[in-house]
Amino acid sequence: MANDVGSTQPRDRRSIRRTNLGVVLRILRDSGPRSRAQIATDTGLPKPTITSLVAELVSLGLVSEGPVQREGAVGRPGTLVHLDGHHICGIGVEISTTYVHVLALTLTGEAAYEHRSAIAATRAGADAVLDHTARSVQDCVTALQRDGRGPIGLTLAVPGVINRLLGTVQYAPGLGWRDVPVVGELRARLRSAPFRLAVENDAKAGAIAEYAQVQNTDMRDMICITGERGIGAGIISDGRLLRGRVGFAGEVGHMPLGSKHRNCVCGRSGCWETMVGLDAVLRLAADGGDDLHDLSNGLETRLADLHRRAEAGDARIRKALDRVADDLGLGIALLADVLNPGVVVLGGYFTHIGDLMIDRVRHTVRDRVMAPDAGGCEVRLSALGFAAAARGGAYLALDAVYQDPSAHSEISPVSLCPPPLHHGPGCAVPGNW
């Protein structure tokens, strides 16, 4: 994320101090460990001020100072300031149509807890999914406490149109949700949880995680495409997440690129996700009775099977992958013409079988984008896969520390009341995500 030195208007000495603490912390996050002298140069602040700010951040447990050997450097390691904050965690929770993924990251980006559980979310309904999510969060918090850590915030990542101010999912066609107040409902189930809860669109959260992977580069224009049953995009333009007028930016899965005879969950037909979503791949690859459609096998197991059979020369699967790759390239070319990204990252299921498609996708993009060499657009596979949205949620939860480091000096003890058990249909189905 870009440093924003001087972007706020402090009203008094204490708020100036808070702003400067955040500036130093963000520089360490974005640019890595550095000496106090380097921080003074980066911020334009006097060295005595930096010494005082670093001392306060050390006392808050957010940074440490010590000898660090820089990559490629020779001789004695220098004394550098670096992020610490191992006792502070942000929690990201992705609710997808097939699983709930809980991931806690420390301030340094270390995974302190991770668990993914299967749920047939569309069939279960919002109440059952939120019960399941609350229990998963409770397990996470208990594990963090056992390790002497505490959560400072939690962000839900949901595949739909979000109202972040109200904490609601306005419309999530894949889940069948309309106007679900997810933040309020989760808070009610967690009752006394003394940390901030928020909600974000899953593709946007995933894009934040992917963008964190290219820190320290000059890449500032990126499109991250989620590959699940639905297709969405998180768009980073000039280093900023693009939301649009009412947060709708990135709903690329419903671009009308396909046949009018193929119905979409949104109620229309011919949407891009009916051509390149997970269901399209499986439908084209095998008939209904094939093991690839057997939900009792986990999704990763089925994707590994599909990959193995394609490599073994299964003609129908190879043809299916070629067709999806062509349609994927077509949609990416359209996005590249409009947005001119430096990179398009393919996440979700694409990370499992995309190596069999990527050459064809790249060829179509080069062929269809108006600008020479596709306007410099590179298409690559995500390294995060299905973990991107939860990881992005955790980064968003941690962002509060960077906005006001002094507010996170002590972590309140967390006490959670267990949510009511749900015994209805569609509850957790282990291995079926």
Task: Quote the CA–CA distance of 192 and 176 in Å, as a whole number.
Answer: 29
Interface residue with Zn ion, options 18, 116, 189, 254 (CB under 5 A): 254
Report the nearest approach of Zn ion to the CB of residue 177 (Å).
15
Report the nearest approach of Zn ion to the CB of residue 46 (Å).
56
# of chain residues touching Zn ion (CB under 5 A): 5
Task: Quote the CA–CA distance of 187 and 97 in Å, as a whole number.
Answer: 21
Which of 12-20, 159-167, 215-223, 256-264 is the region at the interface with Zn ion (rule: CB under 5 A)?
A: 256-264
Give yes or no for residue 266 binding Zn ion (CB under 5 A).
yes
Report the nearest approach of Zn ion to the CB of residue 286 (Å).
24
Task: Quote the CA–CA distance of 138 and 341 in Å, as a whole number.
Answer: 39
Of 152 and 278, which CB lies nearer to Zn ion in the complex structure?
Answer: 278
Per-residue binder mask for Zn ion (CB under 5 A), 330-369, x = binder: ----------------------------------------
Under DSSP, the state recorded for 201 is E
What DSSP string describes 233-293? EEEEETTEE---SSS-TT-GGG-B-S-TTSB-TTS-BSBTHHHHSHHHHHHHHS-TTSGGG
Which of 95-103, 198-206, 263-271, 344-352 is the region at the interface with Zn ion (rule: CB under 5 A)?
A: 263-271
Per-residue binder mask for Zn ion (CB under 5 A), 168-207, x = binder: ----------------------------------------
Give yes or no for residue 102 binding Zn ion (CB under 5 A).
no
Q: Which helix (H) or strand (E) holds 317?
A: helix 315-339
Report the nearest approach of Zn ion to the CB of residue 158 (Å).
17
Give yes or no for residue 233 binding Zn ion (CB under 5 A).
no
Report the nearest approach of Zn ion to the CB of residue 289 (Å).
27
Give yes or no for residue 144 binding Zn ion (CB under 5 A).
no
CA angle 104, 233, 324 (to 5 degrees): 115
Give yes or no for residue 45 binding Zn ion (CB under 5 A).
no
Under DSSP, the state recorded for 34 is B
Interface residue with Zn ion, options 104, 130, 140, 264 (CB under 5 A): 264
Of 5 and 257, which CB lies nearer to Zn ion in the complex structure?
Answer: 257
Give yes or no for residue 414 binding Zn ion (CB under 5 A).
no
CA angle 324, 326, 330 (to 5 degrees): 115
- Residue pair 281/320 in contact by the 8 Å Cβ criterion: yes
Under DSSP, the state recorded for 71 is T
Give yes or no for residue 271 binding Zn ion (CB under 5 A).
yes
Tokens of 80: 């550098």
Beta bridge partners of 199: 156
Give yes or no for residue 411 binding Zn ion (CB under 5 A).
no
Q: Which of 86, 347, 6 is nearest to 203 (CA)?
A: 347
Of 185 and 273, which CB lies nearer to Zn ion in the complex structure?
Answer: 273
Residue whose tokens read 């130093």: 24
Query: At 413, phi and psi to the nearest 5?
Result: -60, 140
Residues 284-303 that bind Zn ion (CB under 5 A): none
Give yes or no for residue 257 binding Zn ion (CB under 5 A).
no
Residues near Zn ion, by CB under 5 A: 254, 264, 266, 268, 271
